[in-house]
Amino acid sequence: MSDIIRNEQDDVFELCLRLGDDCLILGQRLSEWCGHAPILEEDIAMTNIALDLLGQAISLYKYACELEGKGRTEDDLAYFRSSLEFRNSKLVEQPNGDFAVTMLRQFIFDSYSLFLYDELKNSTDETISAIAVKSLKEIKYHLRHSSEWVIRLGDGNEESHNRMNKAIQQLWRFSGELFEIDDLSQRLFEKKYMPDLMPIHQKWKVYVKDIFNKATLKFPSDDVFMQTGGRKGNHTEHLDYILAVMQILPRSFPQAKW
Amino acid sequence: MNSNIKQIVIDTLSQISDPEIPVVNIIEMGMIRDVLLEDGSIQVILTPTYSGCPAMRQIEDDIVLALEKKGFNDVAVKTVLSPAWTTDWLSEETKVKLKNYGIAPPLKSNPDDIFNIISMNQQINCPFCNSEKTELKSFFGSTACKSLYYCNNCRQPFEHFKCH
């Protein structure tokens, strides 16, 4: 196998980790609501969404392992990597906070996913394309759910409106990383494995502005300082705590079987 | 000869019910995409309904077990994602089965409708009294494939098999 092809496979492997780690970590975060949600229907909704995200992560990890060809499985990627090896955005590892924070985090992520995956459908990589088509169906109703909550809370009473504004203040600085272009995403774009993130960012802004408008929330100005680093393995302290909970069993008993 | 074996395999697979909706089998659900026979080995091509459906692993085990009982020992289950599963693959008979079981069947999907996020309310009739006076309680239900409705006519809660 030539070096060039090898490098391209490495790049697609990294892409699978970026996409898959976002799904896994956000799914794990949502699962923390199980048994604690404000109403039963929301408890069921958030765990349903967590399950979809876990399923998407499994598909992406399986493909990553296949590309890598070292015999690792999706479980190895989930349970036996340290936080330095995770490629998720910092947004998805942020704590659940109150319901407004959870819903805004979900809304930012779902809307990003919808526009990204709608383009990933056209990836020159057939497996990435197939995963995108499958995931899109699920992302669509996730986004419907989170959009409706942003509107309901923003345009609700004074308390819910203030909480949404606090959530925006807290989370907005993590939104830029989702659309960040680096050497890897540039190479993947040139080979048409993934789309250009710039137009996706524009579409995302239009959609989010429209929902914020309906929610009577102010869209933040462009000069908010954006956090970065997650895609290179530099995470906030929260990720290690998530991994501790998620990985404790397989790391304590590596031979354990369900 | 091969077509004979294929028919036996398909008949066997049609005995396997969906673990979460026992009234329909995995063929009716549209999850079996193909059966390939080669030198005595059988490959069953399976597609998941939802990415994270926890029933998938059990269904895979059920397939291998059911075919082993029929004397087929070299069975492999291969999962494919494309084309993505859709409720449009459910036949009219299957939809009637769901309705009789108390689950409102899916309507026709509209794949081009991807950006129509907020306004996608559909008219779902009550599977018990056929009334149109129903309301969506939650888009998310007991399984990934169902949502929760309430009938304001016969005052029964019911599940709707989401159009997907």
Q: Check if B163 contacts A (Cβ < 8 Å).
A: no
CB atoms within 10 A of CB B106: 22
CA distance A132 to chain B (A): 10
Phi, psi (5° rounding) for residue A11? Answer: -65, -45
Number of domains comprising chain B: 2
Secondary structure of residue A9 in the 3-state scheme: helix
Tell if the CB–CB gap between A41 and B137 is shorter than 8 Å.
Answer: yes
**Higher per-residue confidence, A6 vs A258:** A258
* CB-nearest partner of B141 from A44, A59, A118: A44
CATH of the domain at B18: 3.30.300.130
CA distance B80 to chain A (A): 9
A187 pLDDT more than 60: yes
CA distance A211 to chain B (A): 10
* CB-nearest partner of A130 from B82, B114, B117: B82
pLDDT given for residue A6 in this prediction: 63
End-to-end CA distance of chain A: 38
Residue B54 domain boundaries: 2-79
Asked which of B79, B113, B140 is the last residue of a domain, the reply is: B79
pLDDT given for residue A22 in this prediction: 98
B147 pLDDT more than 80: yes
Q: Check if B15 contacts A (Cβ < 8 Å).
A: no
CA dist A83 and A92 (Å) reads 13
pLDDT digits 0-9 by tens, B24-79: 999 999 999 999 998 889 999 999 999 988 888 899 999 999 999 999 999 999 99
Q: Please indicate, yes or no, whether residues B41 and B91 belong to a single structural domain of this protein.
A: no
B119 pLDDT more than 80: no
Architecture, CATH, for domain A3-252: Up-down Bundle (1.20)
Cβ-Cβ contacts under 8 Å, A136 against chain B: 114
Q: What Cα–Cα distance (Å) separates residue A57 from each residue in A9, A45, A77, A93?
A: 18, 18, 10, 15
Cβ-Cβ contacts under 8 Å, A133 against chain B: 81-84
Work out the average pLDDT over A25-54. 96
Give residue limits of the domains in chain A: 3-252
Tell if the CB–CB gap between B139 and A144 is shorter than 8 Å.
Answer: yes
Q: Which of residues 129-158 of B touch A (CB under 8 A)?
A: 137-142, 144, 148
CA dist B122 and A45 (Å) reads 19
Work out the average pLDDT over A112-131. 98
CA dist A15 and A60 (Å) reads 9
CA distance A139 to chain B (A): 10
* CB-nearest partner of B117 from A48, A129, A147: A147
- Of the residues A44, A48, A143, the best mutation for testing chain B's interface (the one with the most B CB atoms within 10 Å of its CB) is A48
A1 pLDDT more than 90: no
pLDDT given for residue B120 in this prediction: 63
Q: Please indicate, yes or no, whether residues B45 and B71 belong to a single structural domain of this protein.
A: yes
Query: β-pairing, B75-79 with B41-46?
Result: parallel
Q: Please indicate, yes or no, whether residues B92 and B154 belong to a single structural domain of this protein.
A: yes
Tell if the CB–CB gap between B81 and A114 is shorter than 8 Å.
Answer: no
Work out the average pLDDT over A173-178. 98
- ipTM for this model: 0.91
pTM: 0.94
CA distance B114 to chain A (A): 7
Q: Please indicate, yes or no, whether residues B101 and B152 belong to a single structural domain of this protein.
A: yes
Among A29-33, A81-85, A188-192, B112-116, which is the least confidently predicted range? B112-116
pLDDT given for residue A256 in this prediction: 86
Tell if the CB–CB gap between B114 and A136 is shorter than 8 Å.
Answer: yes
**The token pair that represents A77 in the structure block:** 């990627």
8 Å CB contact between A143 and B117: yes
Q: Check if B128 contacts A (Cβ < 8 Å).
A: no
3-state secondary structure string, chain B?
CHHHHHHHHHHHHCCCEECCEEEEECCCCCCEEEEEEECCEEEEEECCCCCCCCHHHHHHHHHHHHHHHCCCCCEEEEECCCCCCCHHHCCHHHHHHHHHCCEECCCCCCHHHCCCCCCCCCCCCCCCCCCCCEEEEECCCCCCCEEEEEECCCCCEEEEECCC
pLDDT band at A7 (very low <50, low <70, confident <90, very high): confident
The nearest alpha carbon in chain B to A47 belongs to B140
Tell if the CB–CB gap between B82 and A49 is shorter than 8 Å.
Answer: no
Residue A177 is classified by DSSP as G
Tell if the CB–CB gap between A133 and B117 is shorter than 8 Å.
Answer: no
* CB-nearest partner of A118 from B54, B114, B141: B114
pLDDT given for residue B1 in this prediction: 63
Q: Please indicate, yes or no, whether residues B19 and B56 belong to a single structural domain of this protein.
A: yes
Tell if the CB–CB gap between B140 and A118 is shorter than 8 Å.
Answer: no
Q: Please indicate, yes or no, whether residues B126 and B156 belong to a single structural domain of this protein.
A: yes
Asked which of B79, B98, B132 is the last residue of a domain, the reply is: B79
Tell if the CB–CB gap between A129 and B141 is shorter than 8 Å.
Answer: no
pLDDT digits 0-9 by tens, A229-256: 999 999 999 999 999 999 999 999 988 8
Cβ-Cβ contacts under 8 Å, A48 against chain B: 140-141, 144
